[in-house]
Copies of this chain bind each other. A is one copy, B any other.
Amino acid sequence: MKTGVWLVGARGSVATTSMVGALALRAGLAEPTGCVTEHPDLRGSALPPIADLVFGGHDVVTTCLAKKAETLGEAGVVPPRLVAAVADDLAAVEENLRTVPVGGTQAETAAALAADITGFRDRLGLDRVVVVNVSTTESLPEPLPAHGDLDLLRAELAGGGSPLPGSSLAAYAAFTAGASYVDFTPSTGARLPALDALARETGLPYAGHDGKTGETLVKSVLAPMFAQRNLNVRSWSGLNLLGGGDGANLAAPGPNAAKSASKQRVLAETLGYEPEGNTRIEYVDDLGDFKTAWDLVSFAGFLGVRMRMEFSWHGCDSALAAPLILDLARLTSAAHRAGRQGPLTELAFFFKDPIGDVPHGLSEQWSLLRTFVAGLK
């Protein structure tokens, strides 16, 4: 059962780390640390093995994959010895990468993207393909009527219009190519009624949004703790310092706003009220992939006595995200095979801004996930 993983942003840090890791795991050179689907409670025959994942994808840049992997090796994101060991396999993946077409109408672009995906599936004899968006975060688009109605959307596209942001166009292409879709970024992706309708029409599942890799992950266990202890969180403020391409983009006002809102949402949802405070994202080129997030939580306890907690998270963003890409590909593919269509709300565990009316506390998300995986068998 060979499963294709089609990465949008295939030459970026997260995608490259995922691929190097999967190839190293297949070669028996590394442990699946950080892969949630290798947790004893989730392991099972319903999921395609990591060794059976086949990679391809789109990117707007043309950096050589081997070169990118080497850079990640020098930066300490992946062990250089593994980069060397999987060099041949990585060169083979290079054959499956395509440039995002430019210059045509959105309809033409979508058709070209979809053709790349179906070509990948047919050429390599894959059972099914999951498209995973790991490209740069977009600003929030202006709402349009075509976002809410599939017929209207088709009409606008047919008329040469450009109603969709890039991530949604990728989802549109995925669905028309018969592939499921996962959005690991806070971009719009499949999160439009028109695209939900398309997914249901084509019988495909999708998942998102915004992979939960560090600070928000910690928030999603600390906030329920404060809630269950009936402590009154008065303010929760945070600063994220990060470099890399992601950092540069997220420091721009548009994407920054999208991301910060996504980061505070967990508090309102798990506490039942919104404490004061913001989450700031600041680009510090020098830090590269090794992000530091610091949070200060100020809370009132018995009889109003004031207390504080602070934490620093020193994480390697790509190394935290990469195994989750493999997890999401395995889970979404298995859901596709099992006939699921529409949003996979049970994958909330992986996301900062999960789709649907789902719990935001990590432990309830974990229960949802376990039940979901058990049901796939």
A residues with a Cβ closer than 8 A to B are 17, 20-21, 24, 30-36, 38-39, 76-80, 82, 217-218, 220-222, 224-225, 227-232, 234-235, 237, 239, 241, 275-278, 280, 282, 284-287, 292, 294, 296, 298, 300-305, 307-316, 319-320, 322-323, 349, 361-364, 366
Q: List 5 A-B contacts (CB under 8 A).
A: A17-B303, A32-B230, A38-B230, A294-B310, A363-B364
In the bound complex, residues from chain B placing their C-beta under 8 Å from that of A362 are 224-225, 228, 363
**Nearest chain B CB to A283's CB is how many angstroms away?**
9
A286 touches B298 (CB 8 A): yes
Q: Select A276's contact among B285, B292, B361, beta carbons within 8 Å.
A: B285
CA distance A282 to B236 in the complex (A): 12
Copies of this chain = 4
Query: What would 7 more interface pairs be, CB under 8 Å, given A34-B231, A218-B222?
Result: A221-B221, A221-B225, A228-B362, A239-B239, A302-B323, A307-B320, A314-B314
Q: By the criterion CB–CB under 8 Å, are B303 and A78 in contact?
A: yes
Contact of B303 with A79 in the complex, beta carbons under 8 Å: yes
Looking at chain A's contact residues, the main secondary structure is mixed
Q: How far is the CB of A323 from chain B (nearest CB, A)?
A: 5
Greatest chain B CB density within 10 A among A32, A221, A239, A322 is at: A221
Identify which of A35, A300, A305 gathers the most chain B CB atoms within 10 Å of its CB.
Answer: A305
Q: Is there contact, CB below 8 Å, between A302 and B17?
A: yes
Residue numbers in B under 8 Å from A220 (CB-CB): 225
Output the least CB separation between A82 and chain B (Å): 6
| B311 adjacent to A310 (CB under 8 Å) | yes
Give bound CA distance, A298 to B218, whole Å. Answer: 15
Instruction: Give A365 Cβ to nearest chain B Cβ, in Å.
Output: 9
The residue of chain B having its C-beta at the shortest distance from the C-beta of A325 within the complex is B302
A319 touching B298, Cβ below 8 Å? no
Instruction: Tell whether, in the assembled complex, residue A217 and residue B237 are in contact, meaning their CB atoms are under 8 Å apart.
Output: no
Bound CA–CA A222/B195 (angstroms): 37
A308 cross-chain contacts in B, Cβ below 8 A? 292, 314
In the complex, which of the residues B38, B225, B286, B312 contacts A235, with contact meaning CB atoms closer than 8 Å?
B286
Residues of B within 8 A of A361 (CB): 363
Known: A282-B278, A364-B363. A310 touches B307 (CB 8 A): no
**Contact assessment for A33 and B232 in the assembled complex, using a CB-CB cutoff below 8 Å:** yes
Residues on B with beta carbons closer than 8 Å to the beta carbon of A225: 217-218, 220-221, 362
Do A229 and B363 touch (CB < 8 A)? no
